[in-house]
Chain A
Amino acid sequence: MLNTFDILETIKMIEEEHLDIRTVTMGISLRDCISDSIVRATQRIYDKICRSAERLVPTAESIEREYGIPIVNKRISVTPVSLLCDAVETDYVGAFAHTLERAAKTIGVNYVGGYSALVHKGFTKGDRRLIRSIPEALTETDCVCASINVATTRAGINMDAVALCGEIIKRASELTADRESVACSKIVVFANAPEDNPFMAGAFHGVGEAECAINVGVSGPGVVAAAVKRAGDCSFTELAETIKRTAFKITRMGQLVAAEASRRLGAEFGIVDLSLAPTPAVGDSVADVLESMGLETVGTHGTTAALALLNDAVKKGGVMASNHVGGLSGAFIPVSEDAGMITAARSGALTLDKLEAMTAVCSVGLDMFAVPGDTPASTISAIIADEISIGVINNKTTAVRIIPAAGKTVGDEVSYGGLFGSAPVMPVHSGSSERFVARGGRIPAPIHSQRN
Chain B
Amino acid sequence: MRAVITVVGKDTVGIIAEVTGLLSKHGVNVMDISQSILQELFAMVMLVDFSGCDVTFDELARMLERRGEELGVKIHVMHEDIFTSMHKI
Contact surface of A with B, Cβ cutoff 8 Å: 1-4, 6-11, 62, 65-69, 249, 252-253, 255-256
Contact = CB atoms under 8 A, between A and B. Distances in A.
Contacts of B77: 68
Interface string B75-89: 011111111111100
B73 interface: no
B85 A253 contact: yes
A7 B8 CA distance: 12
B40 interface: no
Given A4-B45, A8-B8, A68-B77, A253 B87 contact: no
Contacts of B84: 2
Contacts of B4: 2, 7
Nearest to B34: A4
Nearest to A253: B86
Interface in B32-54: 32, 34, 36, 43, 45, 47
19 contacts: A1-B32, A2-B80, A2-B84, A6-B83, A7-B4, A8-B6, A8-B43, A10-B82, A10-B86, A10-B87, A67-B78, A67-B82, A68-B78, A68-B82, A69-B78, A252-B86, A253-B82, A253-B86, A256-B85
Nearest to B36: A4
B58 interface: yes
Contact of B79 (A3, A7, A9, A66): A66
**Top 9 nearest A-B pairs by Cβ distance?**
A68-B78, A6-B87, A256-B85, A1-B32, A252-B85, A67-B82, A66-B79, A67-B79, A4-B45
Interface centre among A1, A2, A249, A253 (most CB of B within 10 A): A2
Contacts of B85: 252-253, 255-256
Contacts of A10: 82-83, 86-87
B82 A65 contact: no
Contacts of B76: 11, 68
A8 B81 CA distance: 15
A2 B36 contact: no
B61 interface: yes
Nearest to B74: A15
Contacts of B61: 65
A10 B86 CA distance: 8
A212 to B, nearest CB: 24
A194 to B, nearest CB: 25
Interface residues of B, number: 24
A252 B86 CA distance: 5
Contacts of A69: 78, 82
Contact of A65 (B6, B43, B58): B58
Contact of A1 (B36, B47, B87): B47
A12 to B, nearest CB: 10
Contacts of B36: 4
Interface of B: 4, 6, 8, 32, 34, 36, 43, 45, 47, 57-58, 61, 76-87
B57 A7 contact: no
B87 A2 contact: yes
Contacts of A4: 34, 36, 43, 45
A193 B2 CA distance: 41
A62 B59 CA distance: 12
A1 B34 contact: yes
B32 to A, nearest CB: 5
A64 B30 CA distance: 23
Given A2-B45, A2-B47, A65-B61, A7 B6 contact: yes
Contacts of A252: 85-86
A69 B4 CA distance: 13
A256 B32 CA distance: 24
Contact of B87 (A65, A66, A67, A249): A249
Given A1-B47, A4-B43, A249 B81 contact: no
Contacts of B43: 4, 8
A253 B77 CA distance: 16
A9 B82 CA distance: 12
Contacts of B83: 2, 6-7, 10
Contacts of A249: 86-87
Contacts of B86: 6, 10, 249, 252-253
A7 B58 contact: no
Given A7-B6, A10-B86, A253-B86, A68 B79 contact: yes
Contacts of A8: 6, 8, 43, 45
A70 B86 CA distance: 15
B70 to A, nearest CB: 20
A11 B61 CA distance: 15
Contacts of A65: 57-58, 61
Contact of B57 (A2, A9, A66, A255): A66
A255 B89 CA distance: 13
Nearest to A63: B79
A4 B8 CA distance: 12
